[in-house]
Amino acid sequence: MASEHPTGGSEGAELGRFLRARRTQTSPRQAGLTVGPGLRRTPGLRREELATLAGISIDYYVRLERGKETRPSPSVLDALARALHLDDQEHQHLRDLAARAARYAPETPPAPSRTVRPHLKLLLESLRPNPAYVISRSMDMLAWNPGGLALYAGLEDWPAKHRNLARYLFLHPAARALFPDWDRQITACAARLRAVAGTAPDAPDLTNLVGELLLKSPDFARLWERYEVTGRKPAQKTFHHPRVGTVTLTSQSMQLEGTPGQRIGVYTAEPGTPDHDALLLLDMTAAQPTQRPAGADAEQSRQQP
């Protein structure tokens, strides 16, 4: 039987969830089917329609969607991807889910280390006044420079172990005011978490966060149910910041080699522009004598809440 926890957990269950979500959100018109008159009770494609489009039997497809079949061939996956008009990222996610279902092991994997290497903290300092931080795969903020924390207005009020960018976007009262495109931000955030959780559905760092957000945020629950995995962060972000006013910054996120899924995020602005002046002001006002060194709190909070 399928696990009850929020990110899945049983053989083929996550693969089935993804297929079902994409099927119900693919219209017959998108799939090239002619729909007769009358009201359709099923949103999106019916199971038999998708099976026909992919060239597989309805019984086999039903087994896939119910998590009973865990070893679909690459050709079947490709056929389903074509029928559902998956983009490259969604197609790869489907392959990853199938690969995991085939080698599924019931042991719960440990949460990745929250330790940030000293040279990465030095890197964050060297990037000032550009706001920068290191986050985990589940978007915990593990280390930061002064502007990297201050940019997310109000995040510094939370204890270090609770500082998580997904939690901030969905649950912090300041987030809606900070981002003029808050709806777009939360859509991309949920999609990113879906993509990560799909291939590690038993990991405690992910299940704990997702469970909390499902319980506390109706917006997250709605987006989680859609099972989108292709939310993309815009190259530029605008912040209505209470300390430095409205600022538009270019964002860049990079995977850190030799770490357990950690990434570095950096925001920049062209020198000499009002946006860059705002970053200088943010960095100076955030770096007060009481400010702890970048990531110092995180060193004392290596366990998930």
Local confidence pLDDT in tens for the 305 residues of the chain: 333 445 544 546 888 888 998 898 888 888 787 776 666 777 788 888 888 888 888 888 888 888 888 788 888 888 899 989 998 888 888 888 888 877 755 555 667 788 999 999 999 999 999 999 999 999 999 999 999 999 999 999 999 999 999 999 999 999 999 999 999 999 999 999 998 887 777 788 888 999 999 999 999 999 999 888 875 666 789 999 999 999 999 999 999 988 888 999 999 999 999 999 999 999 999 976 544 444 544 444 433 34
Rounded to the nearest 10 degrees, what angle do helices 182-199 and 204-216 cross at? 140
Amino acid in the structure at residue 50: L
| Dist CA 99 CA 70 (whole Å) | 9
Q: How far is CA 110 from the centre of its chain?
A: 19
Cβ atoms of residues 50 and 61 within 8 Å: yes
Rounded Cα–Cα distance for residues 145 and 231 (Å): 27
Q: Cα torsion for 62, 104, 232, 298, to the nearest 10°?
A: 150
- Tokens, residue 63: 């087994």
Q: Is the peptide bond before 118 cis (omega within 30 degrees of 0)?
A: no
| DSSP assignment string, 122-170 | HHHHHTTTS-EEEE-TT-BEEEE-HHHHHTSTTGGGS-GGG-BHHHHHH
Written as one letter, the residue type at 7 is T
Q: pTM score, two decimals? A: 0.75
pLDDT of residue 122: 96
Whether the CA torsion 90, 94, 99, 101 is positive or negative: it is positive
**Tokens at residue 199, please?**
């291939």
Decide if 26 contacts 45 (C-beta within 8 A). Answer: yes
pLDDT of residue 138: 92
Predicted pLDDT of residue 283: 96
